[in-house]
A and B are shown apart, each in its own frame.
Chain A
Amino acid sequence: MIPAAFAYARPSTVDEALQAIAEGGDDVKIMAGGQSLIPVMRLRLAAPETVVDLTRVAELRGVRDDGDAIVIGAMTTHHDVMTDPLVLQHAPLIAEATETVADRQVRARGTFGGALAHADPAGDLPAVALALDADFVIAGLGGRRTVPASEFFVDYLTTALEEGELLVEIRVPKLAGEWGMRYEKFNRVAQAWSIVAVAAVVRREDGHIAEARIGLTNMGATPLRASAVEAALAGAQASPETIAEAARSAAEGTAPSSDLNAQADYREHLVQVLTRRAVTAAAGL
């Protein structure tokens, strides 16, 4: 469990980091909390030439209010995200999901940006970001660009980040109206990843569900939106029956994997149950 030798850079600003990445050679890995990267290096499944450690880049940490959005710095740790008043006020779904991530030790080091950039299909935060329609701010030597969540997750462990780029911050739009949220995670032991999980964000209006956004964890190579359920719920009555009925299409358009924890057909079943539960709770029923 010793990683192969690598060069190491520890910049203290985003610009320095981008420079270090550019100069790091062929295979550069950015390190945030190291909670996913280090194990994979120790298992020698990754052997980067250079590791660029972002822990000293202070400008990437913290959550700030930016008018119509809250902005979460990529290097904000899970612990800091979970306990941040802005997050709790405007995007409690993120706090709820982050609380289910791993254990205290991992949450003390692992970061919001690292989890999203890693894009583990079993990771909890990508589906949450997708359900909240978050925007990803990416910096490169040529400047910054913003990518919506719907375009950020490209494939298995693959995002819209190009070589030489850095995820800087995540903008989570503030929601207007009466919103309820729920993250329904299904796993076998407390510190484990999701077998399947469902992030539901629901806006209610006079006994109806005006809008529902549903993100699915581990139902394919990337996080997915349960569009069929969303469509069925839009404008529907907020009753257990309509929700149960809508949840039946939660597996539509998904392509879950088969592994030790669950074969694909079981995941397709689970996602329906969990969607029903998540939406019911988010709708305040």
Chain B
Amino acid sequence: MTAVEDRPGTDAPEREVGKARRRKEDARLITGRTTWTDNMVLPGMLHLAVVRSPVSHAKITAIDVSAAQQAPGVVAVYTGRDLADEQGSIPCAWPVTPDMVNPGHPSIAVDEVNHVGEAVAVIVARSKAAAADAIELVDVDYDVLPPVLDMEEAVAEGAQLTHDHLESNTSYHFVFDAGEAGTGTDTEQAFADAEVVVSRRFVNQRLIPAFMEPRSVVVQPQGDNYTMWSATQVPHILRVMLASVTGVPEHKLRIIAPDVGGGFGGKLQVNPEEVIALLLARRLGKPVKWTETRSESLMTAHHGRDQIQYIDVAADREGHVKGLRVRLLADMGAYLRLITPGVPALGAFMFPAIYKFPAYRFECDGVFTNKVPTDAYRGAGRPEATFAIERIMDELAVELGMDPLELRRKNWINAAEFPFTTVAGLEYDSGDYETATQQALELIGYDELRAEQQRRRESNDPVQLGIGFSTFTEMCGLAPSRVLGSLSFGAGGWEHASIRMLPTGKVEVVTGSTPHGQGHETAWSQLVADELGVPFEDVEVLHGDTAISTRGLDTYGSRSLVVGGTAVVKAAEKVVAKARKIAAHLLEASEDDLEFSGGKFSVRGTPGAELGIQEIALAVFAAHNYPEDVEPSIDADATFDPVNFSFPHGTHICAMEVDTETGMVKIRKYACVDDIGTIVNPLIVEGQVHGGLAQGIAQALFEEAVYDADGNLTTGSFVDYLVPSAADLPHFDTGNTVHAAPGNPIGAKGVGEAGCIASTPAVVNAALDAVRHLGVSDIRMPLTPERVWRALHQGGDGGDRATAGTNAYGGAQTESTAGVSTPASSLGGDR
């Protein structure tokens, strides 16, 4: 024992932060012994089924609902016309430019449909089956118009219009110019002076979030009050938005997100069906439920990504980057949903990544097409930016004849240079790219792999090996409210928490950051256990109900721990401060003489004079004896608004085998070292990284939302939209460096999106590294074997895929949109 330790070490409980605790919520989530929205059954509840457009672009000339109305069990059928006066428009909270064009987004189409799957009528029936049966009885006449499907065609002169009441297919033109913003030099000049310019067109394909639990909503009217249960990521935001859309006053509306099975941004939305359910519950005065089918989910829940990226990089011959120019076409789909236009705009600031570009210009056109709207999807804007920059750095390295890692090293921000203000005006908080890279190289066994690559090349092996890098950073912890304001975002980025000390000493933590699978209950319990010195098991985390968690901004953008967790810590600090006053009173000591450690206040220099915070909770509950000037409560609230984003970073390395005979690509090894600041729970971090990697790799190799020439989604089931399983992914070697985030007391930077943002370009770079010597310089994502084979044997980037769905499964691509079985669509044959 040393002199500075004045209390016995045995007393100090083990620190919770840093422990690989198993998630306390998992048993109920995994076994399903919990309330998912679709489990809700209310007395007299009616069921909704949505009739959806089978065509991508048309005027509705007539709708006949009479047969459906008469069907057994059907209570009512409504069309867009019936709800036109009250349905308003799905809100868009992010007008990225003052003159952004928003065509308006009815929840049910009234006069026209603009994408396949758009709602045209809704059936209300006594059972789910009766509602489903009546769908095919609704007869809709469509005057079909040609669809707008290709962005480059959509922005050309004289293009067919997505919305004929608009002047063009462009919603907005967003520009960030570092020269004009004063954060960089003139970009045109940089390119004019450059010794080397490399330009590429990349396609960041359309993806489907494909969360596990389908969307579901239940609304219960009680007098003029409404309670809505919804499988949403954002109950708080939903409440405000629904109030403004439907006119149901906010204080008459309670939203509950019970346990929610995944979202990935796909449930960061105000869904048309949520609006419809609320309107119909109001009309009918009865509880209603809508739960989507998987086909509806893939076809109508918002999609993600979908950008065409024109990237120019300028450099000198030695490999010092001089300028970056980014032009994007970003597919909005047919309408603007909650943050549709903001996703590419958010990415604007991340294209310069970890590199010291002196000059930078970003331009983005938001483009309307007759497809389902895009919106947030894991990473939202940052994966697109990371993909483009990490791909173009490899292209520049090839142009310069340099090692791709050497080029990166030459240009990245050095550890000693933090905090560093980038050309996009962001202040990166902390990190060390070199150390992370060194560790990742060791993890993957880099030298050995390079030697093997060499051998395979020399022997002309049909299976070639490639190694790809992604040295990425991202902005997390959304977000400083003032910054969001300056970007015209419709809300702030603070988070709220409160802590309630129960009489028995147990602790209720209320968080405004609503989880949908991330493990908040466990991580928050660990934070509070350390702050209050109470057992982990004594902490219960409440969330997701606007009547319990009254203030909050929910979960997205890797913000929960960084912003929401900090709010919890700040609330705990207040609890301790309030308890200190009571403790001083009860221990008859001065506050200044009290020491708080391991959940106990003790009087310095008076052994044995101590009181636990859990005992104080009981004392204040009884309230028999407390100081005159304080309230009898040690509960506390806190709202935390960060002053800056946090900037996790990491080095991801992929080793890829390419079978040149078939085009099949296979990840041999994958290693990543991420710096996400302080790690609260290594097990949760590992899980988030693995899940993120799976999704990022899926973009590179497997997933793509494909529309045919008529605007039908042909990847309308999991037979054709390939979500990989564990069997399709390699072992991941993961590691961490830790540079605590200076912007919050936890030191956390955020990990929810890291794997997804970082991995995609590492995988594509690896595949290209394997076959570049065979003349291939780009392959479109996903790298289907066919594309790889075509790029190898016919040149180009592998080209478009055929748009027909596979013939497996009897060619059943989606639930037939009209719900009709026709002789042609039956199994066929004479069985």
Contact = CB atoms under 8 A, between A and B. Distances in A.
A191 to B, nearest CB: 7
B773 to A, nearest CB: 21
Contact of B802 (A1, A47, A158, A259): A259
Most buried by A among B132, B295, B802, B816: B802
A45 B702 contact: no
A86 interface: no
A1 B784 contact: no
B815 A44 contact: yes
A78 to B, nearest CB: 16
A156 B725 contact: no
A158 B820 contact: no
Interface residues on B, range: 35 or more
Contacts of B129: 2, 5
B826 interface: yes
B702 A193 contact: no
19 contacts: A1-B294, A2-B133, A5-B129, A29-B831, A39-B809, A44-B819, A44-B821, A45-B810, A121-B808, A156-B829, A157-B829, A186-B662, A193-B719, A259-B804, A259-B806, A260-B706, A260-B806, A266-B789, A266-B790
Interface in A105-140: 117-123
B295 A260 contact: no
Nearest to B661: A273
A158 B810 CA distance: 11
Most buried by A among B717, B786, B825: B786
B192 interface: no
B549 to A, nearest CB: 33
Interface string A178-198: 000000001011111101000
B504 to A, nearest CB: 45
Contacts of A273: 661-662
Nearest to B721: A260
A218 B825 CA distance: 20
Nearest to B292: A1
A237 B790 CA distance: 33
A43 B816 CA distance: 7
Interface in B696-735: 702, 706, 714-715, 717, 719-720, 722, 724-725, 727-728
A216 B826 CA distance: 25
Contacts of B662: 186, 270, 273-274
A263 B786 contact: yes
Interface of A: 1-2, 4-5, 29-30, 36-37, 39-40, 42-47, 117-123, 154-159, 161-163, 186, 188-193, 195, 218, 257-263, 266, 269-270, 273-274
A42 B790 CA distance: 37
Q: Interface residues of B: mostly helix, strand, loop or mixed?
A: loop
A258 B828 CA distance: 20
B804 A156 contact: no
A117 B784 CA distance: 31
Given A1-B293, A122-B806, A189-B725, A260 B714 contact: yes
B624 interface: no
A188 B784 contact: yes
A262 B809 contact: no
A47 B293 contact: no
A121 B715 CA distance: 19
B805 interface: yes
Contacts of B814: 43
Interface string B764-798: 00000000000000000000111001100000000
B803 interface: yes
B402 to A, nearest CB: 34
B815 A163 contact: no
B165 interface: no
Contacts of B719: 192-193
Contact of A191 (B294, B702, B727, B790): B727
A261 B783 CA distance: 11
B128 interface: yes
A122 B132 CA distance: 30
Nearest to B804: A259
B799 to A, nearest CB: 9
Given A4-B133, A266-B790, A43 B802 contact: no
B133 A260 contact: no
A30 to B, nearest CB: 7
Contact of A188 (B128, B722, B790, B810): B722
Given A122-B806, A159-B829, A260-B706, A190 B727 contact: yes
B85 interface: no
Nearest to B716: A43
Contact of A40 (B136, B295, B722, B812): B812
Nearest to B714: A260
B128 A2 contact: yes
A257 B826 CA distance: 19
A280 to B, nearest CB: 13
Interface in B117-151: 128-129, 132-133, 136
A163 to B, nearest CB: 6
B827 A189 contact: no
A157 B827 contact: yes
Contact of A120 (B714, B725, B808): B808
Given A188-B784, A260-B706, A262-B786, A36 B810 contact: yes
Contact of A266 (B133, B294, B786): B786
A130 to B, nearest CB: 17
Nearest to A186: B662
A39 B814 CA distance: 10
B821 A260 contact: no
A107 to B, nearest CB: 14
A117 B785 CA distance: 30
Contact of B809 (A40, A195, A270): A40
A45 B831 contact: no
B807 interface: yes
B828 A158 contact: yes
B475 to A, nearest CB: 32
Contacts of A30: 831
Given A46-B821, A163-B831, A260 B785 contact: no
Nearest to A263: B802
Contacts of B128: 2
B807 A259 contact: yes
A95 to B, nearest CB: 19
A118 B727 CA distance: 27
Contacts of B175: none
B487 interface: no
A192 B722 contact: yes
A190 B812 contact: no
Contacts of A270: 662
A45 B810 CA distance: 9
A189 B722 contact: yes
B699 to A, nearest CB: 14
Contacts of A1: 293-295, 815
Contacts of B661: 273
Contacts of A188: 702, 722, 784-785
Interface in B650-664: 661-662, 664
Nearest to B803: A260
Contacts of B808: 120-123, 192-193
A191 B725 contact: yes
A33 to B, nearest CB: 14
A271 to B, nearest CB: 11
B168 to A, nearest CB: 31
A196 B785 CA distance: 12
B815 A261 contact: no
A76 to B, nearest CB: 19
Interface in B734-775: none
A4 B134 CA distance: 10
A101 B475 CA distance: 43
A46 B825 CA distance: 7
A192 B723 CA distance: 11
B801 interface: yes
B830 interface: yes
A161 B831 contact: yes
Contact of A45 (B293, B664, B725, B812): B812
